[in-house]
Structure 1
Amino acid sequence: MTGRLLDGRRAVVTGAGQGIGLAIARELHRHGARVALLDLDSERASVAAAEIGDDALGVAADVTSESDIADAAAAVVAEWGGIDIWVNNAGVTRDAAMRKMSVDDFDLVIGVHLRGSWLGVRQAAAVMYGHGGSIINISSMSGKIGNPGQTNYSAAKAGIVGLTKASAKEQARHGIRVNAVQPGLIRTPMTAAMSTEAFAATESTIPMQRAGEPEEVAGVVVFLASELASYVTGAVIEVGGGRGM
């Protein structure tokens, strides 16, 4: 697609310094949105924003910090006058068998994914109140089917689905849509850390017989952010090549 579906919109993407988050930021911008790229690494956020170009803003923020998220939203509102699109994408992994997983690694993953998404939804809804908008949460197929070695990650990503549906019901009457995307095996720095054998084994379970690209997730986010999805809320869209059917 070459049309600009998001002209005049103002967007925030968390975890946007690399991987799926950066692809989402690029695609929102390509469709006409001004984009704030939030990342824990301030330099990475600034470099990514500079790469995108005009109407892109790099912002340092820890998504688990209530004050960081509030400050980031305030900075975007001060710069552009409001927020129309908010994408909760930031994430980490600390994979291990449950008997070997530390409580700290469980808490970290739950905190970044689930607490971070909850704080993002709450802040975005507060800014969008009275104006409407679109909030998109990035879940995972791991939250649907579960993955061994990822009890923390699978639990967090499943929790994001519940968060999405509950907040969609709360916010619908305010004109705020809340939806989720569940990527499957996508080629990112996170999956690049998988062993060749593990990657191939997972890829072999996909009906389309290949891993996805970050841009294929980003395209679905653009749809959900746009007026093409004006009657879509509380939905969970799988982007996994048929894995988990």
Structure 2
Amino acid sequence: MKLNNAVIAITGAGGGLGQAMAEMLAAQGAKLALIDVNSEALNATLSLVEKAGSQGRAYGCDITNEQQVEKTFSAIVSDFGVLNGLINNAGIMRDGMLLKVKDGQVNKMSLAQFQSVLDVNVVGTFLCGREAASAMVASQSAGVIINISSVSRAGNIGQTNYSASKAAVATMAVTWGKELARFGIRTGAIAPGVVKTAMTEQMKPEAIARMEQAIPLKRMGSAEEMAQCVKFIFENDYFTARVLEIDGGIRI
């Protein structure tokens, strides 16, 4: 896919990886439909898109709400005339152990804590992927759908909910690639390792040092490096139904 003038939607575009991806794609000439539950957070991303010389529109949307997602993707097609790509980037973490036992007292991860992560990371990805694919098929436009997974999809202590969700979005990308190829739609996922974000910058220096020592390349990845992987998937027309691991060599 040529990125120049392609219309690409990004969920979770208000900051972090979503913002970095939007800025990179805008520099390639793509037009961006920016989606986030926090409408105000989208203003900064929209400014970066425009500064890069491209066009963008902001859409406030709770991706766990089916009606809001349907309305948002309908508005995107109405505003831009077409949809060529989607990055399912929005996600949350609510880490915790399945069980904690102290002094004979057992504390369990609540269903609400588990379900909240599945709702955003899995249900939200499903709804946005479905609506994006539907829009592409309706307009007979070739397209690309990319899910953001994680190295944690292999399973990680304290992340029952998050690991399960990131395994799910990876397998959805593989499944969709096999189902949607006949419509000219390619899919893929990236599985980042530890990425330098506003969240990691708040960690204590000694915690960061321990984390980086566990990574063979001895550093965290950057948002820009994750964006480069997304660019590769969009531009390589023989890539589909696969997961790119971009983790500095770390294995959980």
Hey, what does 1:79 align to over in structure 2? 79
Structure-1 separation of matches of 2:203 and 2:67 = 34
Structure 1 residue 167 displacement after superposition? 1.1
Structure-2 separation of matches of 1:195 and 1:163 = 35
Read off the aligned partner of 1:205 and give its amino acid letter: A
Read off the aligned partner of 2:44 and give its amino acid letter: V
1:159 to 160, 164, 168: 168
State the TM-score, normalized to the length of structure 2: 0.90
Contact 2:4 2:29 in 1 (8 A): yes
Contact 1:5 1:31 in 2 (8 A): no
Structure-1 separation of matches of 2:233 and 2:95 = 30
Is 2:141 the partner of 1:131? yes
- What stretches of structure 1 of length at least 5 have no aligned partner? none
Structure 1 residue 128 displacement after superposition? 0.8
Change in 2 beyond 3 A, CA 1:224/1:186: same
Hey, what does 2:228 align to over in structure 1? 219
Structure 1 residue 98 displacement after superposition? 1.3
Structure 1 residue 56 displacement after superposition? 1.4
- What stretches of structure 2 of length at least 5 have no aligned partner? 100-107
Contact 1:15 1:40 in 2 (8 A): yes
Hey, what does 2:153 align to over in structure 1? 143
State the TM-score, normalized to the length of structure 1: 0.92
Read off the aligned partner of 1:139 and give its amino acid letter: S
Structure 1 residue 8 displacement after superposition? 1.3
Structure-2 separation of matches of 1:41 and 1:113 = 16
RMSD: 1.7
Contact 2:22 2:45 in 1 (8 A): no
Count of aligned positions: 239
SS in 2 for 1:42: coil
SS in 2 for 1:11: strand
Higher mean alpha-carbon deviation, 43-52 vs 120-129, is at 43-52
Give the 5 Å matches for 1:13-32.
13-32=10-29
Structure-1 separation of matches of 2:20 and 2:56 = 13
Hey, what does 2:47 align to over in structure 1? 50
Once the two structures are superposed, residues 121-172 of structure 1 have per-residue CA deviations (whole angstroms, 9 ceiling, x without a partner) of 111110111211000000000012x221111100100111111111111101
Read off the aligned partner of 1:10 and give its amino acid letter: V
Structure-2 separation of matches of 1:74 and 1:193 = 38
Higher mean alpha-carbon deviation, 211-220 vs 100-109, is at 100-109
Read off the aligned partner of 2:130 and give its amino acid letter: R
Contact 2:10 2:89 in 1 (8 A): yes
Is 2:241 the partner of 1:234? yes
Hey, what does 1:209 align to over in structure 2? 218
Hey, what does 2:105 align to over in structure 1? none
Structure 1 residue 197 displacement after superposition? 4.4
Structure-2 separation of matches of 1:198 and 1:105 = 25
Structure-2 separation of matches of 1:50 and 1:57 = 10
2:5 to 8, 17, 21: 8
Once the two structures are superposed, residues 33-57 of structure 1 have per-residue CA deviations (whole angstroms, 9 ceiling, x without a partner) of 0001111101111332123214011
SS in 1 for 2:13: coil
Identity of aligned residues (%): 39
SS in 2 for 1:35: strand
Read off the aligned partner of 1:242 and give its amino acid letter: G
Contact 1:46 1:59 in 2 (8 A): no
SS in 2 for 1:23: helix
SS in 1 for 2:232: helix
Structure-2 separation of matches of 1:97 and 1:196 = 24
